[in-house]
Every structure is written in structure tokens, then in C-alpha cells.
Structure 1
Amino acid sequence: MGRKILHLADLHLGYKPHTLGDGAGLHQQQRDTLLTRIVSWVLEEARDEVGLLLIVGDLFESPHPAPGLVESVIRELSRLVAAGIQVITIPGNHDELTYTDGVYRTHADRWPGRLVTHPRPHEVMVLEWDKVVVAVHSMAYIQSESPDSPVFPPVSGKDVFHIAAVHATLTDRLGGFIAEGDRALKVRFDDLSQKGFSYVALGHIHNGPLEWTTAGAAAAYAGAIEGKSYHDPGGAGLLLVDPSSRPPVLERRPINRHIIRNGIISLHEVQDESALERRILEWAGHNLQAEKYPRLTDFKGEVDFSSMALRIRLQGHAGFVLDIERIQARLAPRFLALEIRVEDPAWDLGDWTRWKNEETLRGAVVRTAMEKIGAAAHEEERRFLTEAAAVALRALHVATQEGNVTR
């Protein structure tokens, strides 16, 4: 039997991606089968390691997930219980226990393992693994019943590995990152470690890995494994906690199928569209397989990008006519999803190749600029003309917004 804790949180099963274009449907399938993959990994590869699965909130995206998804989750957790692996599920704030018709209330009598339902901190489970005794303390947020800053009572027993498991913001480590109106419980690592807790198992913050240690104690957010979007990319991996030492040893293992990345490329570094396409692929290859391609220029072009959703932001001015739609059309089939954005405001308004056909002042500016750029004798002149056209387009946009000119 295993002697480690698999700490999960923020799977957000049932979330529907909105920003990954044609790859959104496939990504949702991978997200919703994540728990199945995790359980299979435990039973097939880590059965001798894992003795407890600890889910610290937001297993589901909402308190009312699809019935088929609920049945799948119950079936997978039951596989672990049948194999002798303990399971503790703690509701979060997306799938909170407040709702009387929510998933955890309607399925409480058949939920595998231990479902935390008490609105205040209490001892949930005690496990004895050879010479290691593990005690898990937790609570479930219930609106109007749970305090915003719950107080975990002090614990005792030097031979007991006490865990405070809570879906919360760790205010003494993340105080500067708490968003106004953050709807989550709030706890302090220093307070919990001084009360005798050896590990603070956290959910709620997706970025990672976020881990802290003091003398004899550790705190960590499990983090999101399969991301939601470019703003919430995931990639935290599985978090294994070894309670045989103080502070405990924390180990991350990859399991995500899809990789979501955000990149920045300077247009000053490329000479034409072909070079820009090459740089995008170099960036993606380096980021996807950093060990194989430690430098951008090491990329040879043979990487499979079908598991990567990539957003590239282009900065600066191009010294050539830039057709974003054409580049995207050529590269997108190689990726799960690809989005290319130009951060220069003149380009954000649209694409020059579309504007040139307009019978407008903007169309006239673009036609003139493209003609002069195409006839430029050298690179420096092309760059100067491109930047000058961008300045003119910005000024035209401002004047249009202020009502001083009709585009």
C-alpha cells in the first residue's frame, strides 16, 4: 500500500473552453477525461506509492455538472476506493456545498470515500501507514455558515503528520495577488504551521507551482493541470506529498495532454513573413521541448504541435507588409489552436490587406503606404515607411473616434 498523498485541486471538470477556436471541443474532451487518466495512472503506475487522494476543491466547474460527468467521476473514484486507496473530496467555491440541489448534496449518500460537508474546520480522517500517522483536517464552505477566515484549532502529537486541507487564499504569501472581491476562504501559512500543521494542502489558485516551506512544514497549491484558456494555461502536473519527513517532500509529475502557451515575438527581429513563420515555429518548438531544443535556433522543424494551443503576440513594427490571416492559415493546421495578435495599435484595428480595398481615407493611406513600401530600395527605408504608415493610421483612428474625421 502507498504512503504518499496525491494532492489535487481545480480540475474544473465540465468547463467549456471559449478561446481556443477549432481546438476547443477536443480540449474539452481531454479536460473532462482528466480524472479518468489520473485514476488509471494511480492504479497502473503508482499503486505502491499513493495511499490517499486528496481533492481540495473545484473538482467541478459548477455545482450542477452534467449527469454523465457526475456518473463518470463517481465511477472513477470508486475504482480507487475498491483498490484500498482512501479518497477525500472537499467542495470548492465553483462547486460549493451552499446549493441545496448541488452535486455534493444530491449525491452525498453515494459519494466514494469521504465527502467533507461540515462548514468549519474539523478532523476528517486519520490514517496509519506503518510508522507514519496522517491526520487530515478540513471544512466545506457554506454561505452564511462558514467564516471567511476560518480558525483551525491547534493540533498536537509530534509523531502525527497533520494536514490542513482548504480551498482558500493563503493571505500571508499571496496578499499582493488577491483580487478585489476574491470569493474564497482566507488562511495564513504562518498561523497554521505554528499550530502544528505539517502540510497545508490548498486549492483555488491555478498558477503554479506555488509552494512554500518553513522549518518542519510546507504549503502548496495543487494548481490546474489541464488549462482553461490562454489566461489560465494550467500545466501544474500531479502533486505527490511524502509525509515521512518534515517538511514533507513535494514532487510534481506531468500528466496533461494539452499545453497552452503565450509567447512574444519582436517584429524587429524578422525580415519578412517567411522569417516570422520560422520564428513562431522556433518559439513553439523550444517551449514544447526545451530539453531537446535549448535554444530557439536548435529547432529543426520536426516537432508535433498538435497538443499545443499557442497565442503569439507580435510587438513593434514590421519592415514589410504583414498579412496575419495568411500566416495564421498556413500555420494553424499544425497546432491544436493558434492565435496571432499584433500589439501595435495600428495593426489591432484590422489587417492592411483588407483595408487597402476600402474606398475610405484609411484605404487610401494603406494603398499609398503599401505601394511605397513595395518600391523601397532597402530594408531601412521599408522599416521607416512602415512605421510612418502606422503613425498615420493611429492618428486617423484617434481622429475618427473623436468625430473629427470620417474613416
Structure 2
Amino acid sequence: MRKNRLGRGYVLVVILLLMQLAVFAGTPEQVASKTGLDQDLFATLNVQVNGAKLGVFIVAVTERALHSKVSAKLMETLRPYVGRNALYVNPTVEDVVSSFPFDPGGFRVSQDGAPDFVPAPADWVEISDGFLSGKFVMNPGGASYGSGSEGLLLMDGHIDITKPFTVSYAGQSATFTIRKAYVPPAPSTTGAMASSPAQPPVDVPLPAQVTDLQDALMTGEFTPERMASLFSLPLALVQTLDIGMHGSELRLLLVLLAAPVRDASFSGDLLASIDPLIGTGAVMVWAISRAGSAFTPWSFFIQQNGTNYVFFSDTSFVELTPRFLRAKEVPAGQVVAGVIRLQKGVDASVEFKVFYGTNSVTFNAQ
């Protein structure tokens, strides 16, 4: 069993409405209108348990879901699970109760061409404490909204949510057919949003070690000037971000992969790994934290000439450490590294910004 430390306080802004709409016979159109969720992303299973009506509201955790009426805190919580075939599950009842015979082990997910998936406790993440044991809490909106709990079902390689699948519980079922063609809205900064075709896949061997940067990132002054000097790089190709997040520190080193990088004092295997990407419009990213910190590459986006370019494809990144794409944190004292492949609409020879959330750096290699 996995537990989410953020707890009940960080929930969908719209859950106050969902409790009422989903349990009390709201139509899909009403739910979609109130929540901003597209109808292909959610379903409600209504079942009778010991004479009481239990509503189970289910949302597919996709980039589109995060751009509905989701609180910033929950977006931060759920974003690491985008791409993990995850479902947000919210059981609720009309009455205020401290517990209810809701059994997460009673779910079954089926899909053509795949064995039925019956989740074990280890496949769940508790958002509200006691989710797996049937503990319910009163909705923060008050007693009139009933009570419930929240959890995440991580289906990973068992079910592919980009293909039709069916979720069943207590004799009720709902089929999801999630639309594939989607470009997420622009991040909350000024400027228009543009999409461009994903980069073609590229195979890059993982370097054997990443320790050549680890000590430098962890200790001493963390500035572009120091990093450029340490690794024999032109200053114009180097930027740093030092971000405070919930009491922890996240350090990001960003290097624009232009021709002079071939002469940098990186290890030979690292240079061999990144060589195919040099000059193609790419930025190498190294993330480290002394005490550990939340981190996901999907929080990056690019801004150039007033236009924001967001990422929506795995081929926009190259891993330099295992599972960089699916990272949700940087463990204490360890390095998480990869390469951002700039979108085809971005000209790396002209000034552009790399954002991580609301923090940004500017590259101008002219």
C-alpha cells in the first residue's frame, strides 16, 4: 500500500460539487459543466450497499483532467501519475459516516487483449487516510455534502487507458473510451499556446555513471558562472534554477546542447550519450536535492516570442538516468537526469525561455 502524504486537504476544487452531482443523480452533462472535465474522462458507478446508495466517481488521470477545475495543489499531487494509467477514485455517500463497507479490492478492470486487472492493496495510493480500510470523512463543504474518501489506482502496464477499458464494481460497470488527440492548454503565463508534432523517437545509451556532476551540484555556489567554469562550458549555454518547494530545495542544471558541449569536461560515456542530440535543439537537465524533493519533467515548457510550447509526448524527452520520464521525485542526494528536445516550432538559435512550473531561465546563444 502506498500513502500520499498530502492527505485530505488537497482535493479537487470541484469535489464539493461532485459529491452532490455524482451521488444525487447528476447527469454527465451537468458534471462536465460544473467540473470542466470532458465526459470521456469520468464515470460514476451507483451501487446499493446495505440499503444505502454508494456513488463511486472515477476520473482517468490524464493531462486533460489536470486542466479542468483542479486545485493547484491537487494538480501537483496528480501530475506524477500522468502516463501511469491511473484512475482517481472517490466513493461517497449522502450521510455523514466515519466508515463504510467500501472495498477497493472489489474493483475489476477489463480490456480486450489483456487479462482482467484486479488490484491489490499495493496498486493503490491513499489520498485520504484509511481509504483502503473503508474510513470515510465528512466532506469539507459541510454535512449536506455527505462523506467519502479518495484514492488513486495505478494500473501501469496492466491496462492501457488510451484504449477502451471497462471498470466494474459491485455488479455495476462503466466503459471509458478516451480521446487521443489532445494538446493541453497553455500554462498560466502570458502568451499564446502552440502545438507542434512530437519529435521522432531517438535511442540514446544511458551513461554508466552520473557521479561526475553529483558532487558539484550538491555543494558550493550554484550559479551559471560556477557550473560553466567547472565543466568548461561557454556561459551562454548554462543556466541554473534553485527552487524552494514545501520546505525542500530542488536544484536544476540546464545545458543547451550546442557544438561547444563536445569539448566540455563531462565523462566520456555521458558525452557519447548526448552526442546524437547536440545541435538538434535540446537542453540537458540535471536535478538534485539534498533532502529530496518532488520533481517531474512534465512541469517543463518552453516560451519563445510570446508563445508557450508544452510537452505532450514521451519522445520529447530522452532519459539519462533510468525512469526520468516517470520520475515523481528526486531522492535525497541522488541525481535525476534527462534531455528536453525542443519542439519543432522553437528556434534554439534565438532567445527562448525554459520554464519549470512558474520558474524560468533564458537561453540566448547568439
Q: TM-score, normalized by length of structure 1?
A: 0.23
Larger strand proportion of the pair: 2
| More helix by percentage | 1
State the TM-score, normalized to the length of structure 2: 0.25
Considering Cα pairs closer than 8 Å and 6+ residues apart, tell me whether 1 or 2 has the greater RCO.
2
